[in-house]
Structure formats: C-alpha cells, structure tokens
Structure 1
C-alpha cells in the first residue's frame, strides 16, 4: 500500500513512519560529538623541531612511491614475480603569502642552515655540518584539534623562492619552500 505524501506538510519526519511501513524503525540521529573528526585541507601547521614556521596556505607533494622490479623466468608464460625495491618520497612544497613575522622566522631558519651547510671546523667541537631536521606537518579539524600528522625525517630545504615582483600585477606576493626528506613513516 503506497501512502501519498501530504504536500501541505512541511515536516517530512512526521510522514516517515507511514512511508517506512509498520515493521521499519525510524533511524535515530547520531549525537553531534559522535561523528568522525575530519581534517580540513586549509587547516594545517608546520614546525621544524620546536620552531613554528608560521601559517601556510598550501602543502603539496605529500606522497611516497613503492618501487618494484618485474622478474620473469626465461621461456615461462606464467605471470611474472615482483621484487620490492626502494621506497621513495616526494618533495614537499609549501606556499604562502609573504608576511613580516612568518617570513622573518623562515629567513632566520634558512640563514642558520646556510651557515652550517658546508662548513665544518674540525677544531671547534660544537661545529656540525647540517644533517637535516624533522619537519612536523599537522592537519587540524574545524575546532583546531589534530586529526593527522606527518614527521618528515632528516628534511632539507631544497629550494626557497620569493615573490615575483611586477608593477603591472595586482597579485599577492608569495613565497615557496620545497623540502626533501628521508621519509615520514618512521621505524617501529
């Protein structure tokens, strides 16, 4: 038996029991706190060790590739075997608008790395060649709670590029930082 909808009724929940039939129960809504916390692509933070690198508008390249080599036996028509090879991790590119406080912190960090990049004084016990740092990228939900995170181990700045300045342009001045790293999975 089909129950016609009452077009005058604005509340379909009153008509739901008639539509579902006598043996079907109306679904109970979940309380607001029981839904999973979803990460928002626009809400993330970046830290190097204990240094906050400020806000960024974009993070691209978070990924890894599993290398495999196909091995076939001579004359065999069976499916070939795959032998695992190295894992490789993509370079990460961060991008944001240039701002005095955040850009100054980044320039200071890059200046410290440049000073240690290829200099090592064997006579100075405190002198060390730069060997990378852990970069911590944290994804947040709409409340600012952490949803996921990645620690880029032994990360190096591969490239920094400043804004393209042009008197004919009305664009926001952007800076980009590209990082290479030894992975984000870690060891157990």
Structure 2
C-alpha cells in the first residue's frame, strides 16, 4: 500500500502553487540580475520506434536521445555589460561555458523555493530592444542561453 503523504502533500491540505514573477539568474553562484521573463525550460526524450519481426500490429518505443531547450532571458536594458561581454566571447570564438542557475523565489522575493541548474551554459543569441520613438515602454533585450544538462534542485 502506498503512503498518501509520499508526494509531499497531505490529504485535505491545499498548498498554494509558486508564483512565476519572482526569479533571478545566478552565474557561477553570483547573482547576475533579475529578469522580466525566463522561458524555454524544456527536456525531451525522443522515442525511437521499431517493429518486431513478424508482429506488424505493434510499434515498440524505446528511449532515444535527450535534447534540452534553449533558455530565453528577457531583461530591461541597463548600462551593465556583464551579459553582453559574456555573449561577445562566443561571437569571437572563445566560448566561456559557465554553470548557471535560475532561482524561483517565494512571494516576497526573498527565499529560494526552487532552482534549476544549467550545466556548461553559454549565450548563443542576443536580440536588442526594439526602438520606437512613439512608444513609452521599457527597452527589453533578449539573451538566449544553451546548455548541456539541466538539474532541478
């Protein structure tokens, strides 16, 4: 018989889900900033299909290669050059792989409640902020980061 509390929850007790608006980026353990959006967390195990000889009605599937999505970070343009300089090392052919972490914070934005560690990450794409003289919005840049493995802590 399974333990009803094994999933971390208790029967009849409602736990609020985490909020999506409090998160930050750490590069090599140092906070690199807070961002307006972080997307692209994705892991896929590709299924390899095959048929067994003489059994045509069944297509078997076995796990194949694993791929990871690219992370897109959107942030307000400032005079900080840290992310730009890191990206430019890749442009110049001197890729600097770093371990980065995306941290989800509690609703007050103080305590860490969850973390995703991206191993051997490096910036692969930069998109500048769209400029429009008739708009009063913030200038938002986008940095795409690729990585080799992902762990959730």
Name the counterpart of 1:184: 150
Task: Name stretches of at least 5 consecutive residues in structure 2 with no aligned partner.
Answer: 1-12
How many corresponding residue pairs?
139
Structure 1 or 2: more helix by fraction: 1
In the superposition, the TM-score normalised over structure 1's length comes to 0.65
Distance 1:114 1:61, change over 3 A: closer
Q: 2:82 aligns with which of 105, 124, 142?
A: 105
3-state SS, counterpart of residue 80 of structure 1: strand
Matches within 5 A, 1:11-22: none
- CA–CA separation in structure 2 for the residues paired with 1:35 and 1:99: 41
Following the alignment from structure 1 to structure 2, what is the Cα–Cα distance between the partners of residues 39 and 153? 24
Larger Rg: 1
Q: Following TM superposition, by how much is the alpha carbon of 1:159 offset from its aligned partner in structure 2, in angstroms?
A: 0.6
What is the distance in 2 between the residues matched to 1:168 and 1:58?
Answer: 24
Output the aligned Cα RMSD: 2.4
C-alpha deviation, 1:43, in angstroms: 0.4
Specify which of 111, 136, 147 is matched with residue 145 of structure 1: 111
Q: Does 1:79 align with 2:49?
A: no
Partner of 1:6: none
The counterpart of 1:46, out of the listed 16, 25, 39, is 25
Separation (CA, whole Å) in 1 of partners of 2:46 and 2:81: 39
**Cα offset for 1:82?**
1.0
**Whole-Å Cα distance in 1 between the matches of residues 86 and 78 of structure 2?**
15
Question: TM-score scaled to structure 2, two decimals?
Answer: 0.78
**Greater share of residues in strand:** 2
